[in-house]
Amino acid sequence: MPRILISLLILAATTVQASSEMEFAGVDRQFRILLEAERVPGAAWAIVRGGEIVHAAGHGVRSLDDQRRVTPETTFRIASVSKTFAAQLTGQLVAEGRLRWNDPVRRYVPQFTLARPEHAQQLTIEHLIGQSAGIVPNAYDNLLNTGRTLEQILPQFGQVAPMCAPGECYSYQNVLFSLVEPAIEASTGRGYAELLRERLFEPLEMQQASVGRQAFLASDNRARPHVRVNRWRWVPTEVNDNYYRVAPAAGVNASALDLGRWLVANMGYRPDVVRPDIIQGLTRKRVHTARELRRKGWRELLGDAHYGLGWRIYSIDGQDLVTHSGWVQGFVAQVAYSPAHDTGLALLLNAESGAINDLSIHFWRQVMAQPPVTALSGATDPAPAEGGRNESAIVAAPN
């Protein structure tokens, strides 16, 4: 190869690298401006491109009473982003023939019923994971918030009347979603947390990822949750067991780097762990989620919105954004990736702040404005398929 051509290639590569570094510096700067405007105590993020974590950063402190800095390795609660892990694990077991999507829920939870028993009999694993059970959204999250156990809450469903037939309408759930756990454990003879660790966390080198409150508290580098007491003041609070009791719905802990690796896998770059055909099945558009089109900030951006199996699919200018977000007391989290742009973003905050939507919208406006890229060799082309603060919603359900 002529020396002049080699020199030009080296110059081009250097220019691209410098441009990328400048771009990431701009992202960090804008993120920090938005976070400081809301006085968010701490946050971390990771950006994925081409099957790699190309940038990760932390902002602020783990707690207002612990001034150690947040890093990309700091563990946060990821709330409803946990649902993406439950969906993947279920998909793997279906692919292995251990479960079926049309398995009745009552096969594994025979005591479960609704005001119309025939409706309960028709509910399947797919309806749970696909948020299409057809009952009032967020049923009995209010009881979770008061510290009730799943065993105490489950009998209450006998008073719930259906809104639509199973599979026909979207109705977001946490308690009901978690009933996939007994199905998973009965079909494998293994514990849910153990399976996640063995099948996903360890193979993907998600070094801070875990399930449950005790595992979270055991982390030396963890963020503490914060709640707002007035417009300008956040205070630390304690982590409770409430949503850890519904582990598939909200029980996972992870760092920004962990979620970056999770995005890499779901973008098709780890087919040895996360199979492309399972990704395609989970991210197929299933039920329309019209409410998402009215979300503040997002409503100017979205053309359409659906739920798949454990994932949301937003449509932006005809391009799909595969995403999920979550909220538990003192934490918000979000992951998203664009198959067309081969780009992903993980965001974690240790405060119940809507700034997470501002951060995400700011990032995706810039990404989606660029021409789509051709996926690199080795990546799958997964078919398209949460945003919103679902974890702490209190629903006026019957007691």
DSSP string, 129-164: HTT---S-TTTTHHHHHTT--HHHHGGGGGGPPPSS
pLDDT tens-place string over residues 155-197: 999 999 999 999 999 999 999 999 999 999 999 999 999 999 9
Coil vs helix vs strand at 341: coil
Query: Is 1.20.58 the CATH number for 93-188?
Result: yes
Q: Please name the residues in contact with 13: beta carbons below 8 A apart, sequence gap of 6 or more.
A: none
Query: Which residues of the chain are under the pLDDT cut of 50?
Result: 1-19, 375-399
pLDDT at 296: 85
pLDDT at 34: 95
Residue ranges in the chain assigned as alpha helix (H)? 3-37, 82-95, 117-122, 125-129, 141-145, 150-153, 180-188, 192-196, 213-218, 247-250, 256-264, 276-282, 355-368
- Classify residue 390 by its DSSP letter: -
Residue whose C-alpha is closest to residue 70's, from 56, 55, 54: 56
The two structure tokens encoding residue 203: 């193979």
**Assigned CATH for 29-82+191-368:** 3.40.710.10
What are the residue boundaries of the structural domains of the chain, listed by start?
29-82+191-368, 93-188
Q: What span, in angstroms and rounded, lies between the C-alpha atoms of 153 and 140?
A: 7
- Classify residue 222 by its DSSP letter: B
pLDDT at 21: 57
pLDDT at 20: 54
